[in-house]
Amino acid sequence: MEAGNCKLAVVNNGKGAGFAVCESCGYAKVYDGKPIGEHKTRMGKVCKGTFSRYSLGYEFSTDILSLKFIGYSDEREGFWESLLYGLIEGACKALEIDRQDVDSTLYSYAGDPRRPAIVLFDDVPGGAGQVKRIAEEENFIKVLKKTLEVVSSCECGGKEGDASCYGCLRNYTNQYCHDILKRRYVMEFVSKLLEDLM
């Protein structure tokens, strides 16, 4: 676990394909691989400008917390996303943090997507100290316990926990992966982690 302040780049790559942006008028849309024909400018005129593909993003300095599980690897689809969103929900509930104040991402620090770092960050330029609170040992144990409580008390996916819902892992910002989130993954991993830490 590493916490600190750093410059964070937030990038939206349009679900991997990028955005097609007209070099003449600025018209943009998610690139879907299909040829882009003529379109209208903001003034309603037909534009036949050429397009280039871009990822959109910005940088800001904030507080981050990087969680690396050295020696642990998991290639199940949705495992890391489930764990990431489970930890955020647990942190927000355990430490009474507004969900809008903290965000997260997976970072493949070793180039292996089966063992990425989970990076939590204050979603406020300059940081607000929320992830620093999460990083405190006593608070991190509270976060793990609350995460386990949230996913264990939910009933989605039956006893197997082979699904997720808005009561446990899902929220508006993670719609892109709703179909692969499984609370079972979080229950298994966090309960084992708590056993090892206690």
Instruction: Give per-residue pLDDT as tens, 87-144.
Output: 999 999 999 999 989 999 888 887 888 899 999 999 877 778 899 999 999 999 999 9
Q: Tell how far CA 105 is from the center of its chain.
A: 4
Same domain flag for 70 and 132: yes
Closest CA to 79 of 109, 106, 119: 106
Same domain flag for 26 and 102: no
- Domain for residue 139, yes or no? yes
For residue 65, the domain's CATH number is 3.30.1360
Confidence of residue 3 (pLDDT cuts 50, 70, 90): low
Same domain flag for 27 and 117: no
Map tokens 């600025």 to a residue: 26
Q: Give the global pTM.
A: 0.76
How many domains, the chain? 2
- The pLDDT > 90 percentage for the chain reads 47
pLDDT at 8 (0 to 100): 62
Tell me the residue range of the domain where 25 lies: 19-54
Residue 177, judged by CB atoms within 10 A of its CB (0-12, 13-18, 19+), counts as middle
Same domain flag for 36 and 85: no
Please state which of the ranges 117-126, 160-169, 173-182 shows the lowest mean pLDDT. Answer: 117-126
Per-residue b or e along 127-138, where b marks 16 or more CB atoms closer than 10 Å to that residue's CB:
bbebbbbbbeee
Structure tokens at 188: 């298994």
Please state which of the ranges 41-45, 58-62, 194-198 shows the lowest mean pLDDT. Answer: 58-62
Same domain flag for 48 and 93: no
12 versus 45: the higher-pLDDT residue is: 45
